[in-house]
Amino acid sequence: MAHMFYKYQGTGNDFVFFDNRQLTFSKNDTNLIARLCDRRFGIGADGLILLENDVTTDFKMVYYNADGNESSMCGNGGRCIVAFAKFLKIIEDKTTFMAVDGLHEAIITNETVALKMQDVEGITRGESYSFLNTGSPHHVTCVNDVKSVNVKEEGAKIRYGAPYNEAGTNVNFVTRIKDNHFMVRTYERGVEDETLSCGTGVTAVALAMYDQNNTNASTVLLETQGGNLEVSFTKTDGKYTNIWLKGPAQQVFKGEIQC
């Protein structure tokens, strides 16, 4: 069966989108989803996202990792689906939508999308890292020179090692540039490699750096290999609220594929 697909990217984090409001896509075919995300035998992407109808909001986001498995929240994917919904004329400049971790708000201005993330509390600090969940689990560790880190090798060791083991975690390596400006590289579980950017990852980094007193700013600039993102938040009584992830989201191309 022929399906129209759309390719979007948000700071180099790329996704295949299908408009699945008519429920025509084979959602349980893990092998198909993995093949579509394959960069040699498919379209190629860090993940696949379905836009579906929702009873109480403008639409629902269903996200799959590149390995074909449905996964936790994806921040850049969430920003990209807002751009996709505007392209489909489902929304105009503001929206609410449902994702695996609950309700999200978003605002789109030209090709910039600001996405409201879930509240966060309970940041765990280890000897040389922080761990928190920003819709997806993230391990955050500071390094002297993030550009020199073998992210795939070192990230995999942490992702599969204790205390995460089989459940795993995403892994972020961070170097402070100045004040509220940090450079970030991320190993993503499900992709099992470094991605050019990770939205929930940079959100985790911003909160972790504030929690570790590496910045006293509540608006943090995050530089990734795919581009720059901004995270702003409010901290009250140990809880992070009003968390917004902001950056570009662009349609790259569209096409038709038999699947």
Stated pTM of the model:
0.96
Residues annotated as part of the active site: 74, 198
- In Å, the largest CA–CA distance within the chain is 54
Can you name the residues that pair with 193 across neighbouring β-strands? Answer: 188
- What pLDDT is attached to residue 71? 93
**Which are the contacts of 105, defined by CB distance < 8 A and separation ≥ 6?**
94, 95, 96, 115, 116
How does pLDDT run across 132-187, given as a tens digit for each residue? 999 999 999 999 999 999 999 999 999 999 999 988 999 999 999 999 999 999 99
Residues 123 and 209: their CA atoms lie apart, in Å, by: 11
pLDDT band of 102, cuts 50, 70, 90 = very high
Block residue for tokens 């089989």: 166
Contact 64, 48 (CB under 8 A): yes
CA distances to 34, 43, 69, 166 from 30, rounded to whole Å, are 6, 15, 6, 19
How does pLDDT run across 23-43, given as a tens digit for each residue? 999 998 999 999 999 999 999
